[in-house]
């Protein structure tokens, strides 16, 4: 982290904007919703700009600390709302372009995994503190000492939280080396098989224990329970493909660090399909159809 002291109050806005991408990244990984993340970052700005910060020697560390604590407070609040959510809950899709903005392949892979739907779903089962430590350590590489300061915890406590969180994630989302080109190829083949009604091809792409998770929030059509087994998932998808959508348009895009299928109806987002791929097969199909989570994907 930089140690550039804030000496001129007029620089507050410029410094905040410089660090906004990191703050938004932390807040989104903590909360799984773009709107919630933006609200947290806005609250962080209000606190940062409330008075002069001439005594702050490391603005980035200071802002991350504010943002993380605000995100923890909001997460504790929204978790109670999610208990009453209709059907499975999935994070809101987040447009990414790591291939352009992050040139280093290793760093791009870490960022892509940390923002993937599969990992964000697992993070939902962590405690707010475990999630904060995981995000700061695994996604952004913050030293344990700085995380301890951000959370007002001891270094030993942070290391213990990090170990528990990493173990929990590894147990539920084992690490696989996923080739981006292979993931895109599987997405394109999946799309062709589903729209073409090719049951055999779909089954060849799906792992035997494949699952389908749909998120509608009770506001549109999507399964209210997880669909399990390749055969049931494939037949469900073919049934969906046969249903006509007025003015339907299909686009391949990048969401949450990987390829995704965006469905438009009369120019407005109607749904998103994204695949969790491992060992060359589709492990899970995520379908997002809650209209509240699709508004940010509307074409300009």
Which pLDDT score is estimated for 112?
A: 60
β-bridge partners, 274:
260, 286
Distance from C-alpha of 246 to C-alpha of 88, rounded to nearest angstrom: 26
Please list the rounded mean pLDDT of every run of 10 residues in the chain (300 residues): 50 88 94 93 92 74 94 90 86 72 49 78 93 93 94 96 93 69 92 95 97 94 94 95 85 91 93 92 95 86
Which pLDDT score is estimated for 229?
A: 97
CATH for 180-297? 3.10.450.50
The alpha carbon dihedral of 62, 63, 65, 66 has a sign of: positive
CATH code matching the domain that covers 1-84, chosen among 3.40.50.12170, 3.40.50.300, 1.10.1740.10, 3.30.70.1450:
1.10.1740.10
Which pLDDT score is estimated for 239?
A: 92
Which pLDDT score is estimated for 54?
A: 65
CATH for 116-175? 1.10.10.10
Which pLDDT score is estimated for 157?
A: 97
Domain boundaries, the chain: 1-84, 116-175, 180-297
Which pLDDT score is estimated for 130?
A: 97
Which pLDDT score is estimated for 25?
A: 92
Which pLDDT score is estimated for 243?
A: 83
Which pLDDT score is estimated for 50?
A: 82
Domains 116-175 and 180-297 share a fold: no
Distance from C-alpha of 9 to C-alpha of 19, rounded to nearest angstrom: 16
Sheet hosting strand 268-278, strand order edge to edge: 227-228, 206-215, 281-288, 268-278, 258-265, 248-255
Distance from C-alpha of 243 to C-alpha of 230, rounded to nearest angstrom: 20
Which pLDDT score is estimated for 97?
A: 63
Q: What is the 3-state secondary structure (H, E, C) of 46-104?
A: HHHHCCCCCCCCCHHHHHHHHHHHHHHHHHHHHHHHHCCCCCCCCCCCCECCHHHHCCC
């Amino acid at each position: 982290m930089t140690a550039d002291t804030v000496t001129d109050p007029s620089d507050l806005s410029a410094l905040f904007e410089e660090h906004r991408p990191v703050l938004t990244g932390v807040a989104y990984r903590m909360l799984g919703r773009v709107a919630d993340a933006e609200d947290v970052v806005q609250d962080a700005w209000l606190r940062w700009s409330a008075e002069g910060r001439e005594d702050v020697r490391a603005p980035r560390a200071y802002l991350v600390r504010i943002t993380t604590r605000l995100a923890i407070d909001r997460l504790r609040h929204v978790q109670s709302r999610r208990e009453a959510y209709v059907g499975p809950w999935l994070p809101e899709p987040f447009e990414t372009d790591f291939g352009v903005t992050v040139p280093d392949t290793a760093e791009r892979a870490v960022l892509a995994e940390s923002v993937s739907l599969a990992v964000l779903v697992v993070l939902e089962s962590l405690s707010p503190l475990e999630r904060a430590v995981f995000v700061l350590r695994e996604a952004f590489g913050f030293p344990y000492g700085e995380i301890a300061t951000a959370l007002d915890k001891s270094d030993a406590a942070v290391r213990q939280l990090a170990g528990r969180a990493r173990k929990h994630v590894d147990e539920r989302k084992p690490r696989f080396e996923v080739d981006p080109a292979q993931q895109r190829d599987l997405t394109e083949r999946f799309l062709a098989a589903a729209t073409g009604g090719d049951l055999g091809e779909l089954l060849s792409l799906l792992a035997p224990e494949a699952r389908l998770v749909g998120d509608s929030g009770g506001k549109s059509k999507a399964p209210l329970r997880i669909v399990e087994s390749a055969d049931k998932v494939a037949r469900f998808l073919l049934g969906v493909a046969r249903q006509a959508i007025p003015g339907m348009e299909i686009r391949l895009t990048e969401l949450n660090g990987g390829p995704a299928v965006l469905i438009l109806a009369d120019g407005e987002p109607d749904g998103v399909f994204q695949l969790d791929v491992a060992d060359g097969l589709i492990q899970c199909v995520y379908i997002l159809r809650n209209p509240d989570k699709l508004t940010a994907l509307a074409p300009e």
